[in-house]
């Protein structure tokens, strides 16, 4: 069970974090307590210089991504189409964000092809880096699956299954993309799922498709870690 994957101490409070990574709300509060209202209005974030952030839209009706100060909202139109809007006039059920103005390029070995391999690699190269932290990737994916939350109006949520009602998955192939991620070994069910150290959102270079990244086959990617 999802809920058994984190201990009672963690369920009572969020782990401490650094001032340069801000966490508002928690994934578990949305999924188990039905707290779907906006925990932060994005237009209230004052410092948008080098701003990066991600989370689900309030009421779980879309996905949010802030990439280098530009804010995007994706929402389901049909099972095969979506809309992506550039706007700060939205709120998040939970949200993690940071201001990063300087990045260092890290060589991503060609044998790293999927999310789990990426997670292991980032963990190994960031042992001496303070955590949690934002990171990004840019390049081409051979294939990817992203999803957008699309909870029907008036829905009541008390479990992950109920939170995912209406969710739509979209497949991508041979796309040039940017990916934003946040990495932490201490924030499972806060801003990462119970079985991952990462939360990732993908947006295509033309900004026409965006969502939570579920699966990927990397083709030619460059990894960037923040300079602190």
Alpha helices (runs of H) in the chain, residue ranges in sequence order: 8-12, 27-33, 115-125, 160-163
Per-residue pLDDT band at 24 (split at 50, 70, 90): very high
**Is the pLDDT assigned to residue 12 strictly greater than 80?**
no
Contacts for 66-74: CB closer than 8 Å, 24+ residues apart: 66/42, 66/97, 67/136, 67/178, 67/180, 67/203, 71/42, 72/203, 72/207, 72/210, 74/148, 74/209, 74/210, 74/211
Domains of the chain plus CATH, in order, are 2-226 (3.30.1330.80)
The per-residue pLDDT for range 84-128, each reduced to its tens digit, is 999 999 999 999 999 999 999 998 999 999 999 999 999 999 988
Per-residue pLDDT band at 19 (split at 50, 70, 90): low
The contacts of residue 103 (CB under 8 Å, 6+ apart) are 136, 224, 225, 226, 227
Residue 189 near residue 10 (C-beta atoms within 8 A): yes
pLDDT at 2: 31
Mean pLDDT of 161-178: 96
Which residue has better confidence, 9 or 149? 149
Per-residue pLDDT band at 4 (split at 50, 70, 90): very low
Average pLDDT, the chain: 90
């Amino acid at each position: 069970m999802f809920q058994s994957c984190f201990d009672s101490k963690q369920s009572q409070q969020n782990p401490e974090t650094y001032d340069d990574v801000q966490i508002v709300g928690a994934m578990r509060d949305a999924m188990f307590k039905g707290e779907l209202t906006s925990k932060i209005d994005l237009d209230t974030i004052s410092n948008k210089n080098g701003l990066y952030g991600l989370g689900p839209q309030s009421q779980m009706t879309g996905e949010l991504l802030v990439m280098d100060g530009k804010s995007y909202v994706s929402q389901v139109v049909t099972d095969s189409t979506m809309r992506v809007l550039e706007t700060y006039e939205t709120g998040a059920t939970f949200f993690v964000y940071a201001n990063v103005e300087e990045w260092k390029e890290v060589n991503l070995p060609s044998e790293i092809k999927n999310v789990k391999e990426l997670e292991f690699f980032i963990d190994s190269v960031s042992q001496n880096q303070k955590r949690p932290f934002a990171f990004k990737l840019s390049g081409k994916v051979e294939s990817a699956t992203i999803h957008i939350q699309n909870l029907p109006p008036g829905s009541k949520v008390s479990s992950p299954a109920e939170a995912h009602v209406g969710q739509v998955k979209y497949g991508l192939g041979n796309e040039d993309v940017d990916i934003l991620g946040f990495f932490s070994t201490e924030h499972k069910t806060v801003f990462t799922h119970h079985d991952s150290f990462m939360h990732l959102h993908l947006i295509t270079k033309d900004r026409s498709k965006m969502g939570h990244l579920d699966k990927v086959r990397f083709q030619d990617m460059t990894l960037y870690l923040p300079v602190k």
